Structure 1
Amino acid sequence: MAAVSAVGYVGADNHRRFQWLVAFCLLGVAVTVLLMSLERTAAQAERQSVQLMLNQLRSALVVKGAEVMLTGGRLEDWQGTNPVDLLQSAPMNWGGDCSGAEHRKGIWCFSRGERVLVYRSRWSEFPGLNGSPEQVEWLFWRVETEFARLGKVPERRAVGLVLNRVNFGQQKPY
């Protein structure tokens, strides 16, 4: 009789261990799903943050373009300028002049040599120049003059300042 009850204890003990193993496996799966969701949400938040910053810069360029046109200035003279200088205050993640220094991820800077605004992404997937997602670490924009043809007039006329994405591949332009 003693041998039978010892086997019962061993079976019950193994059953309890199996339950703990299943519980830990389920917990591991839940934590993995949670971390993947958190990473996806953080990447989406970064994309939205970059888009918000670009919208603010583009709004400042519209105002500056109108100001230049009203004062009789040349919009072409503003090509390649630092658009952050047009804001009332620099953003919190502004690194200033790129000047060849290694910038942390999530920081904006301006390359004076190439005259481009630079952002180093924390997450590698961003909408590409053609709209589809692409793997990038460095993103670049340049202030350019927007031209339009009015009616049947053949020559182009400068109508504003725009912030266009430029492609340097994955090499830093500075």
Structure 2
Amino acid sequence: MARRPQSGSSSMESAIWLRNLVALVILFSLWWFLLGALDRALQRAEEQSASMVISQLRSALVIKGAEVMLDRHGRLVAHEGINPFELIDHHWRSYAGQCLGDIPEPGNWCFRDRTQKETVKQGKGWLIYNPRQPITIKRRRIESDKPLAWKVTTEFADRNNNGQREQDERSTGLKLMPVSLTEESADTLSATR
């Protein structure tokens, strides 16, 4: 009779151990699912934030382009490369101002001046955004260690649809155009030498 309680006790301990193991596996699976959902939510929030900033900058450029076109002495070409953040009376915490290093801190924007020669006026350059994690902005996939860049250019009536402006095609406004940061950096470095 002494053996029976021990085998019953042993099977009871095994059942408790198995129940605890199953509970841990379920908790770990829920934890893993919740972390994935949190990561996706953070990614969507960063994508929406960056898209909102780009949309507001583009809207400000449309207004500025209209103002320049209404001014009889204004020229749209003179506004290429401007910092569009200066057109908006809003201060984002994610905008760091002038770029102090190569790229801004993750999750931040900055404006990099392009000084090709000593005679070039400051204030011309491109915007840089460094994402915290891999995101997609305006159908452009960005890895967390690869910043994106944009520059302000003029829009024009492309009558022959070749994508290049000819003399008879007039400027119609200002736009924010994505550029390759490495190409722009290489152009700036070669021009300063």
2:91 is aligned with 1:90? yes
2:154 is aligned with 1:141? no
Unaligned runs of 5+ in 1: none
Q: Is the CA contact 1:65–1:75 (under 8 Å) kept in the aligned structure 2?
A: yes
Identical residues among aligned pairs (%): 34
Q: Tell me the distance in 2 between the aligned counterparts of 1:118 and 1:81.
A: 13
- 1:36-86 Cα deviation digits (max 9, x unpaired): 111011101101110100110011001100001111200000000000000
2:181 to 158, 168, 172: 168
2:137 is aligned with 1:123? no
Aligned residues: 171
Q: Tell me the distance in 2 between the aligned counterparts of 1:38 and 1:112.
A: 37
- 1:148-159 correspondence runs (5 A): 148-149=157-158, 155-159=168-172
Q: Please tell me the residue identity of whatever aligns with 1:19.
A: R
Cα offset, 1:127, TM superposition: 4.2
Give me the CA root mean square deviation.
Answer: 2.6
Q: Please tell me the residue identity of whatever aligns with 1:144.
A: T
- 1:34-53 correspondence runs (5 A): 34-53=34-53
Normalising to structure 2: TM-score of the pair?
0.80
Q: Please tell me the residue identity of whatever aligns with 1:160.
A: G
Moved over 4 A (4+): 169-174
2:2 alignment partner in structure 1? 2
Q: Tell me the distance in 1 between the aligned counterparts of 2:61 and 2:158.
A: 20
SS class of match (1:100): coil
CA separation of 1:172/1:22 partners in 2, compared to 1, >3 Å: closer, same or farther? farther
CA separation of 1:105/1:12 partners in 2, compared to 1, >3 Å: closer, same or farther? same
Q: Please tell me the residue identity of whatever aligns with 2:130.
A: R
Cα offset, 1:126, TM superposition: 2.0
Normalising to structure 1: TM-score of the pair?
0.88
